[in-house]
Amino acid sequence: MEDMINIETKKEGNTCTIFVSGVVDYSTMDPFIKEIRAVERGTAEVIVNFKGLEFIDSTGIGAIINLAHEANDKQFAVKLEGMSEETNELFDMIGVFQIMQTLQSEGQ
Amino acid sequence: MKEHEEKYYEASNGELNKSLVREIKLARNIQMKLLNGEQPEIENGSVSGVSIPARLIGGDYYDFYPLTNGKLRIVIGDVMGKGIPAAMLMILTRGAFRSAAESTQGPGETVTAMNNAMYDDLRKLGSFVTLFCADWDPEERKLTFANAGHNSPLIVNANKDIREFPKVKGVMLGGLPNQEYPEETITMTEGDIAFFYTDGIVEAQNCNGEMYRIERLMDVLADSSSCEVTEVEDIVVNSIEAFVNGVPQRDDITMVLLKIEADNTSIASYNSPIMNS
């Protein structure tokens, strides 16, 4: 059984929403990284929607953290939404929210 | 491409593959020796650790560092990713821990020093390490700990009651610079087992895509609370193997156990723990 990831991107004005569903792990995450890298200059906000997320491993979390740092460098905002309670707890424990809040307050 | 050129490239690839396999095996040998080298003997208790990489080599890490004040510093960590890249950063983590453990007072300071030492490299590489560090004081029977984004260990007592350690938050190594890591302390009593682990245990999957999960781990630990630490290790590993039933391991699996035994405190308790090779 092969794990699958599905990525869809929607652009509205200066906001880019990336819908991530399925399994985001070491073996599947290349399309996710590609989508993050493809965020165009001039984008004001990137929203990553995890509503259809089944599983995320440390490599996937690393991509989110790298996105947060890139957003700080390139001056755009990042928002995570649609997480399950379990994913929310995982992000909180590892420090994803703390990193995003600290970088955003530094960037203001 | 001409026929003789094709043969040349095939031969070259064959040699390269053989060479790579040999080097990975040597790297595995180095990692296994560094990881599973020394288990310390402690007063009034026992400790043990085991790490099983998902591939030939992995990014999980645990270590023991005997302090001159008689305490034992314990660390368990998980480098982002798998395989060779994670293994390289695991070695970096080990160096940072050993260096920090020597020069810092408590687990919070150790984790801060490690983050300070590793932050720039980890950020440059887009990587991170989750880490849990604890000081065991055999005299006071207190365990003081700090956390850099790692899952909370479990504690099980002789009555089979099991719970997570009190939450203590801190961002993972490589997440933010100049971090301070708060400490918490628990008192342990005879028969208590502290179980430190990495997520490869609870996220082990069977052929239906179901995970092993923390609830199953807690049941297994409660049922084996009267066993020796090395027996508990075997029981947990066997339980995971039975659960996954042949499905290849996806993530590194690591656990460290500390069990408190009857009080045999003597003047020897003022000495450092003994390391056995």
Task: Give the integer Cα–Cα distance in Å for B112 and B180.
Answer: 6
Which chain B residues have any C-beta within 8 angstroms of a chain A C-beta?
A: 78-82, 123, 126-128, 130, 148-152, 169-172, 175-176, 199, 203, 207, 209, 250-251
Rounded (5°) CA angle B46-B47-B50:
145
Which residues does chain B have within 8 Å of residue A59's beta carbon, measured at their own beta carbons?
Answer: 80-82
| Average pLDDT of the residues in A16-37 | 91
Which residues does chain B have within 8 Å of residue A25's beta carbon, measured at their own beta carbons?
Answer: 250
Region class of A98: left (phi > 0), else alpha (psi between -120 and 50), else beta: alpha
User: In degrees rounded to 5, what are phi and psi of residue B180?
Assistant: -110, 145
* B170 shares its domain with B74: yes
Give the gap in angstroms from C-alpha A45 to the nearest C-alpha of chain B.
Answer: 21
**B47: containing domain:** 36-276
* B162 shares its domain with B45: yes
Give the gap in angstroms from C-alpha B32 to the nearest C-alpha of chain A.
Answer: 22
* B1 shares its domain with B68: no
Which residues does chain B have within 8 Å of residue A66's beta carbon, measured at their own beta carbons?
Answer: 126
* B58 shares its domain with B163: yes
Of chain B, the percentage scoring pLDDT greater than 90 comes to 76
Total H helices, total E strands in chain A = 4, 4
Top-confidence residue, B99 or B12 = B99
Task: Give the integer Cα–Cα distance in Å for A5 and B250.
Answer: 17
Domain tally for chain B? 2
pLDDT confidence band for A18 (50 / 70 / 90): very high
User: Taking 60 as the threshold, does the pLDDT of residue A8 lie above it?
Assistant: yes
> Cβ–Cβ contacts within 10 Å for residue B150, how many?
26
pLDDT confidence band for A41 (50 / 70 / 90): confident
Which chain A residues have any C-beta within 8 angstroms of a chain B C-beta?
A: 1, 25-26, 55, 57-59, 61-62, 65-66, 69, 93-95, 98-99, 102-103
* B42 shares its domain with B115: yes
* B141 shares its domain with B180: yes
User: Taking 80 as the threshold, does the pLDDT of residue B38 lie above it?
Assistant: no
Contact predicate B146/B168, CB 8 Å? yes
Give the number of A-B residue pairs with CB atoms closer than 8 Å. 57
Tokens of B267: 């003047």
Alpha helices in chain A (DSSP H): 30-37, 58-74, 85-94, 96-107
- Helices A96-107 and A85-94, packing angle to 10 deg: 70
Of B80, B151, B251, Cβ closest to residue A93: B151
- B77-118 pLDDT, tens digit each: 999 988 899 999 999 999 999 999 999 999 999 999 999 999
Q: Strand, helix or coil at B112?
A: helix
* B165 shares its domain with B70: yes
* B51 shares its domain with B148: yes
Tokens of B233: 């290790």
pLDDT confidence band for B268 (50 / 70 / 90): very low
User: Taking 90 as the threshold, does the pLDDT of residue B198 lie above it?
Assistant: yes
Mean pLDDT of chain B: 91
Query: Is A94 in Cβ contact with B172 (below 8 Å)?
Result: yes
Task: Give the integer Cα–Cα distance in Å for B126 and B145.
Answer: 27
The CATH number that applies at residue B109 is 3.60.40.10
Task: Give the integer Cα–Cα distance in Å for B164 and A75.
Answer: 39
pLDDT at A66: 93
User: Taking 90 as the threshold, does the pLDDT of residue A37 lie above it?
Assistant: no
pLDDT confidence band for A26 (50 / 70 / 90): confident
Rounded (5°) CA angle B14-B58-B220:
135
User: Taking 90 as the threshold, does the pLDDT of residue B266 lie above it?
Assistant: no
User: Taking 80 as the threshold, does the pLDDT of residue B36 lie above it?
Assistant: no
Query: Is A95 in Cβ contact with B176 (below 8 Å)?
Result: yes
User: Taking 90 as the threshold, does the pLDDT of residue B39 lie above it?
Assistant: no
Which residues does chain A have within 8 Å of residue B172's beta carbon, measured at their own beta carbons?
Answer: 94-95
Domains and CATH numbers, chain A: 5-107 (3.30.750.24)
* B133 shares its domain with B12: no
* B17 shares its domain with B133: no
Task: Give the integer Cα–Cα distance in Å for B160 and B155.
Answer: 10
* B98 shares its domain with B108: yes
User: Taking 80 as the threshold, does the pLDDT of residue B62 lie above it?
Assistant: yes
* B28 shares its domain with B116: no
Tokens of B154: 């479990």
